[in-house]
Amino acid sequence: MSYSQKNTDTLATITEALSQQTVDRLKQLLPHLSTSEKPTRKAEIIALIEQHLQGKKLQSLWQQLDSLQQAAVAEVVHSKDSQFDAGRFQAKYGALPNFGSRSSYGTQQTTSPLGLFLYGYVMPLELKQRLQKLVPPPISMKLKSSKDIPPTIEQRWQEFNYDTRKRIQRVQQIPLEQGLRERSAPQELLAVLRLIDAGKVSVSEKTRLPSAATLKALTPLLEGSDYYTDIQKKDNPPAYQEIGSLRAFGWAMLVQAGGLAELSGKKLKLTKAGQKALRYAPEQTLKTLWKKWLKTKILDEFRRINAIKGQTGKGQRSMTAVGGRREAIAGALGDCLVNQWVEVDEFFRYMQGSDYEFEITRNPWNLYLCDPQYGSLGYEGFHDWSMLQGRYVLCLLFEYAATLGMVDVAYISPVGARDDYDDNWGVDDLEFLSRYDGLIYFRLTPLGAYCLNLEADYTPAPLEIRPVLRVLPNREIVAVSDSLTAADVLALEIYAQKVSDAVWRLDLTTLLKAVAEGRSVEELAEFLKARSSEPLPQTVEQFLADVQWRSGSLKDVGTGRIIECSDPALAALIANDSRTKKYCFLAGESRLVVPVASETKFRNALQKLGYSLPKLS
């Protein structure tokens, strides 16, 4: 059952609450009172109940409640409003309190003592005030986490056997893939910015969404590629659900929302902030990107849940503001322990049971699966928290927080990963509700704690020491253990040429290319030392030092405009005059170079010198 749409009624007095009940309902409350009186008229019953809802009699009624019922009363008494939130309560305590019994038609047959405190899930303000000193605060919500996660996850599904005409339960252990994002995100950020600077990132002028060609160009820059590949196509022909890009898409949106890139024609170009980001510590830029993403309106992440229709047109008017949703999730993220894995369903439970509430839409009737009428999500039980709020959480974590390196992720294919939508109409052909359904665990990183302002400073985590390589004097790197991970292989392929299945060779051209793409020689040296049981050979140390010197010998100081002067004398005059020399420098006998950032000041100073530079048409 869904409880996302709250009852907004309030009751001021106990008399008002009791007066709204039927006589039969009021009579069901009488057995819970410590009295032998059996009044029959409504006014008399109300008066008798009111006598018991004060002083010691009220305390006695409170003590009659079982622990779960007392918890329900405590939650309302110490909440901001006076309504019992059943969904939140069930998430926190794992069950609902006993309100009484109902018939098969849903009518109330008996009422428990809890009915004296809550009337239609609402507590009268008068009663709430009386209980505030009597009822202790409810227990605080705790988020469960663990240091380690299992290597596989059990996946269950049913198949229909046409021979026996019965359904067969299938069980399979699915390996969990891990995306360790903290060390990868800074390098990916620099690579994405360089691709933009090269003019190879196109987005829609209207929606700002990246083109298919852009996603294809971005994906090879990502460490280990994107989470999912075209292998899904081969496994699910002919009409499969495309998973598509996650990190590549996320980067394209983040740099725009963060002011690092802006639209110029149909392509993105770096802003001044984007150019500076190429030279500054990436962790500060990543923190800024997260901060700005919390407030951006460039995209409603829920639009990425393609299977849920009705988000545009009339339905768009009932969608809630994205800022409030993101703030709620960011607040819950801040309660996670650093370097501790959290199961996403546990995170859902924690958010529901805590104060991190948010809605996706004010009218779920506008949203639907497959068909606007039969597939509407407005029906009771067809828009549960995990389907709407939960899918939004998965998207924000998987596509944005993980992309920024704030969380590590553990995931499987989204196909069949979640079954919470199976009872909805028309979903037989849906292999997954969202491309994010495969996210199973996440882990807040130290970088994430820094981005969330949980830590004032950030120091990149050192590499794990694991002797799986041997570095030879001839610059060959040999794998000496079967425990070489996919991440290790990827790192080697970035910096070195592959000679065979277990041998790589440090190559000047390959290493210089890696440095040009944002990698560092220090990072390679740190990696080799952490993966080798012996000190690096002197020849390798010297080679790395030489590459370090070569890569630091040249420096990109920005873009400039080349000005051709009529003769060397004029060029020398402008380059040395006190009014213009701060904004230009000689480049040969008759040419000047003016940095783009100084162009306006150069033109103004040039006019004071008695010259004018025509603008390019």
Position 543 scores a pLDDT of 95
Encoded amino acid at 549, one letter: W
Identify the domain boundary among 399, 424, 451. 451
Residue of 19, 33, 30 lying closest to 110 (CA atoms): 30
The CA–CA distances, whole Å, from 216 to 225, 252, 304 equal: 10, 12, 18
Q: Which two tokens stand for residue 113?
A: 């003592």
Check whether residue 406 and residue 308 sit in a common domain. Answer: yes
For the stretch 234-254, pLDDT in tens is 444 444 578 999 999 999 999
d(C-alpha 516, C-alpha 396), whole Å: 31
The mean pLDDT value for 579-606 works out to 95
Q: Do the beta carbons of residue 402 and residue 333 sit within 8 Å?
A: no
Check whether residue 120 and residue 28 sit in a common domain. Answer: yes
Position 306 scores a pLDDT of 93
Q: Do the beta carbons of residue 295 and residue 323 sit within 8 Å?
A: yes
Check whether residue 589 and residue 548 sit in a common domain. Answer: no
| Domains of the chain: total | 4
Check whether residue 278 and residue 388 sit in a common domain. Answer: yes
- Residues linked to residue 592 through DSSP beta bridges, in sequence order: 563, 586
Position 6 scores a pLDDT of 47
Residue entry with tokens 């109409």: 425
Q: Is residue 140 part of a domain?
A: no
Q: Is residue 121 scored above 70 in pLDDT? A: yes
Identify the domain boundary among 451, 479, 506. 451
The mean pLDDT value for 103-127 works out to 88
Q: Do the beta carbons of residue 562 and residue 593 sit within 8 Å?
A: yes
d(C-alpha 426, C-alpha 565), whole Å: 72
Position 569 scores a pLDDT of 96
The mean pLDDT value for 569-589 works out to 95
User: DSSP string spanning 371-408?
Assistant: STTTTBTTSTTSS-TTTTHHHHHHHIIIIIITTTTSEE
The mean pLDDT value for 68-87 works out to 94
Q: Do the beta carbons of residue 407 and residue 443 sit within 8 Å?
A: yes
Encoded amino acid at 372, one letter: P
Phi and psi angles of residue 263, each rounded to the nearest 5 degrees, phi first: -75, 130
Position 328 scores a pLDDT of 97
Secondary structure tally for the chain: helices H, strands E: 23, 17
Give the β-pairing of 476-479 and 469-471: antiparallel
Encoded amino acid at 47, one letter: A
Q: Do the beta carbons of residue 341 and residue 441 sit within 8 Å?
A: yes
pLDDT higher at 301 or 279: 301
Give the β-pairing of 560-564 and 166-175: unpaired
Position 228 scores a pLDDT of 92
Check whether residue 308 and residue 408 sit in a common domain. Answer: yes
Q: Is residue 191 part of a domain?
A: yes
Neighbours of 468 (CB within 10 A): 16
Largest CA distance in the chain: 115
The mean pLDDT value for 390-397 works out to 98
Burial state string for 515-550 with b = 16 or more CB within 10 A and e = fewer than 16: beebbebebbbebbebbbeeebeeebeebbeebbee
The mean pLDDT value for 370-381 works out to 86
Interaxial angle between packed helices 42-52 and 55-64, expressed in degrees from 0 to 180 and rounded to the nearest 10? 90
The mean pLDDT value for 465-490 works out to 86
Q: Is residue 3 part of a domain?
A: no
d(C-alpha 601, C-alpha 580), whole Å: 8
Q: Is residue 603 part of a domain?
A: yes
d(C-alpha 100, C-alpha 111), whole Å: 4
Q: Which two tokens stand for residue 504?
A: 């790589």
Report the chain's mean pLDDT, rounded to a whole number: 90
Q: Which two tokens stand for residue 509?
A: 């051209």
Is the C-alpha dihedral spanning 373, 374, 379, 384 positive or negative? negative
For the stretch 435-471, pLDDT in tens is 999 999 999 999 999 999 999 999 887 777 889 999 9
Check whether residue 108 and residue 222 sit in a common domain. Answer: no
Q: Is residue 404 part of a domain?
A: yes
Residue entry with tokens 């709430």: 128
Selection from 198-207, 250-259, 269-278, 360-369 with the highest mean pLDDT? 250-259
Check whether residue 353 and residue 379 sit in a common domain. Answer: yes
Residue of 10, 35, 38 lying closest to 26 (CA atoms): 38
Position 109 scores a pLDDT of 80
Position 8 scores a pLDDT of 52
- Residues linked to residue 221 through DSSP beta bridges, in sequence order: none
Instruction: State what percent of residues in the chain have pLDDT above 70.
Output: 96
Three-class SS of residue 592?
Answer: strand
Q: Is residue 147 part of a domain?
A: no
At 420, the pLDDT band (50, 70, 90 cuts) reads: confident
User: DSSP string spanning 112-176?
Assistant: -GGGGT-BTTB--HHHHHHHTTTSPPPPPP----BS---SEEEEEEEEEETTTTEEEEEEEEEEP
Q: Which two tokens stand for residue 355?
A: 């104060």
Q: Which two tokens stand for residue 199?
A: 């003019």
Q: Is residue 136 part of a domain?
A: no
Check whether residue 356 and residue 500 sit in a common domain. Answer: no
Q: Is residue 544 scored above 70 in pLDDT? A: yes
Position 2 scores a pLDDT of 33
- Residues linked to residue 159 through DSSP beta bridges, in sequence order: 168
Check whether residue 514 and residue 447 sit in a common domain. Answer: no
- Residues linked to residue 83 through DSSP beta bridges, in sequence order: 122
The mean pLDDT value for 85-112 works out to 87
Q: Is residue 232 scored above 80 in pLDDT? A: no
Identify the domain boundary among 509, 529, 552. 552
Q: Is residue 217 scored above 60 in pLDDT? A: yes
Check whether residue 320 and residue 376 sit in a common domain. Answer: yes
Q: Is residue 144 part of a domain?
A: no
HEC string of 164-185 equals CCEEEEEEEEEECEEECCCCHH
Bond before 175 cis per omega within 30 degrees: no
Check whether residue 395 and residue 345 sit in a common domain. Answer: yes
Structural domain containing residue 602:
560-608
Phi and psi angles of residue 408, each rounded to the nearest 5 degrees, phi first: -85, 155
Residue 600, CA atoms < 13 Å, CB-side half-sphere: 1
Q: Which of 112-116, 427-431, 486-490, 556-560 has the lowest mean pLDDT?
A: 486-490
- Show Cβ contacts of residue 352 under 8 Å, excluding neighbours closer than 6 positions: 87, 88, 91, 92, 385
The mean pLDDT value for 510-533 works out to 87
Encoded amino acid at 242, one letter: E
The CA–CA distances, whole Å, from 581 to 567, 574, 591, 595 equal: 17, 7, 13, 12
Position 155 scores a pLDDT of 87
Residues 269, 248, 520, 277, Cα dihedral to 10°: 40
Check whether residue 564 and residue 544 sit in a common domain. Answer: no
Position 487 scores a pLDDT of 64
Is the C-alpha dihedral spanning 498, 500, 502, 506 positive or negative? negative
User: DSSP string spanning 456-486?
Assistant: S---PPPPPP---EEE-TTSEEEE--TT--H
Q: Which two tokens stand for residue 95?
A: 């069950």
Distance between alpha carbon 81 and the CA centroid of its chain, in Å?
29
Q: Which of 50-59, 133-142, 228-237, 426-435 has the lowest mean pLDDT?
A: 228-237
Position 234 scores a pLDDT of 45
